[in-house]
Amino acid sequence: MRRWVIGIVISGLLLTGCQANASEVSEDLFDYQGSYVGDNSAVVRAIMNGKGAENFTGVELQTKEEPYGVIATYDWTEAAGDAEEVAIHNASYLFTLLQNAEWVRFEFEAMGEEETYELTREELQAWYGVGWNDIDNEEELNELIEESTGDEEKVKELLSGEMK
């Protein structure tokens, strides 16, 4: 009986410890704010905590000459999400966290076809109407993304490069 009690207590402690670590992941993401495109761990961490992470297949950092950028690739064959939403969401995180990222490209490969979205820091900032340095935490950024992506016409204008 005593062994059962000890086993239950240890299991409870392990589960509590795992839950605490899971919530810390999202809180720690803004610790990378101010990072650079050349910081592979910051880039990958941002993408892996973003939308579509389960379909993420690779990243290429463009750091040899300015403007610096990031190319993220996804296997979208069995993805359930919207590629446009993933591109806007993840670009927003990358521009907020990486101070020298000037552009990001997302390549979604599915069944031999590729859907590509490229966004620049400047155009996405103008689309939001808020400076990247004015965003202090994940909650603020998520609210901004949700408010802005709710307007389908606005999203199409951004992704087609026809912003007014």
The per-residue pLDDT for range 118-157, each reduced to its tens digit, is 999 999 999 999 999 999 999 999 999 999 999 999 999 9
* Residues 6 and 85 occupy one common structural domain: no
* Residues 5 and 79 occupy one common structural domain: no
Structure confidence at residue 26 as a pLDDT band (50, 70, 90)? very low
Domain membership of residue 76 as a residue range: 33-160
- Contact between 105 and 121 under an 8 Å Cβ cutoff? The reply is no
- For the chain, what percent of residues have pLDDT higher than 70? 82
Exposure on the CB side of residue 162, measured as CA atoms within 13 A: 6
* Residues 90 and 64 occupy one common structural domain: yes
Give the per-residue pLDDT at 129: 95
* Residues 67 and 23 occupy one common structural domain: no
* Residues 47 and 123 occupy one common structural domain: yes
Exposure on the CB side of residue 147, measured as CA atoms within 13 A: 10
Which residue has tokens 């379909």?
Answer: 55
Instruction: In whole angstroms, give the CA distance from residue 62 to residue 101.
Output: 9
Tell me which residue of 31, 117, 21, 29 sits closest to 69, measured CA to CA: 117
* Residues 70 and 26 occupy one common structural domain: no
pLDDT digits (tens, 9 = 90+) for 146-158: 999 999 999 999 9
Give the per-residue pLDDT at 164: 53
* Residues 52 and 7 occupy one common structural domain: no
Instruction: In whole angstroms, give the CA distance from residue 75 to residue 78.
Output: 8
Q: How many structural domains is the chain composed of? A: 2
* Residues 156 and 103 occupy one common structural domain: yes
Q: Could you count the other beta carbons within 10 Å of the beta carbon of residue 89?
A: 20
* Residues 110 and 83 occupy one common structural domain: yes
* Residues 94 and 28 occupy one common structural domain: no
